[in-house]
Amino acid sequence: MTRANVLIKNYDPNWELQFEEEKGKILSAIPQKIIQIEHIGSTSIKGLGAKPIIDIMIGVTKLEDFEELIQPLSTIDFEYVPKPELTDRRFFRKGLWGQGTCHLHICEHTSKEWIEKLLFRDYLRENPKIAEDYLYLKKSLVKEYQYDRQTYTKKKEPFIREVIKCARNEIY
């Protein structure tokens, strides 16, 4: 198995095109199951450097029906990755292990997971200074955790939680 290396690249406008291409494939593979499909994560924020992995989130009615999606998604090269620790979403990946090109997150359309991922994305899109702070954090974490993606991801959590809190306060 290849070691998961964390690499932050400068923003690439092709990320949006990659998302649209993958979205089309996903919609053709499982159109009846999708309520909504969104580009999330750092590649969805114009100008923000990111790991060059397109994060896609699909909103479904009932998460427990996700098993019906495994086979159709495999026909477009998405591999289901069981993660027992994820109770509110299911995870699929595309690309070589440790060198994935796409991550697919499936969750219930009105769930906390769905809402928070969109709050985070939208807040960064609307607040370039906060997005810049996030990029600075990511680059500093890469220096220490380049070969430890799990710790890198975990260390971003306090920042993400704070952004979601700020976004909620602005809405409510």
Mean per-residue pLDDT of the chain: 93
Residue 170 pLDDT class (50, 70, 90 cuts): confident
Q: Is the pLDDT of residue 1 over 50?
A: no
Q: Is the pLDDT of residue 2 over 50?
A: no
Q: pTM of this prediction?
A: 0.92
Instruction: Tell which residue, 163, 160, 83, 96, has the closest CA to residue 123.
Output: 163
Residue 136 pLDDT class (50, 70, 90 cuts): very high
> Following DSSP, what letter does each residue of the chain receive, concatenated?
--------B---THHHHHHHHHHHHHHHHSGGG-SEEEEESGGGSTT--B-S-EEEEEEES-GGGGHHHHHHHHTTTPEE---TT-SS-EEEEEEETTEEEEEEEEEETTSHHHHHHHHHHHHHHH-HHHHHHHHHHHHHHHHHHTT-HHHHHHHHHHHHHHHHHHHHHHH-
Q: CATH homologous superfamily for 14-171? A: Beta Polymerase, domain 2 (3.30.460.10)
- Tens digit of pLDDT for each residue in 84-114? 888 899 999 998 776 679 999 999 999 999 9
pLDDT of residue 108: 96
Q: What six digits make up the tokens of 125? A: 């899109």
Least confident of 15-19, 30-34, 121-125, 153-157: 30-34
Residue 105 identity (one-letter amino acid): H
Residue 65 pLDDT class (50, 70, 90 cuts): confident
Q: Is the pLDDT of residue 23 over 90?
A: yes
Q: Is the pLDDT of residue 172 over 80?
A: no
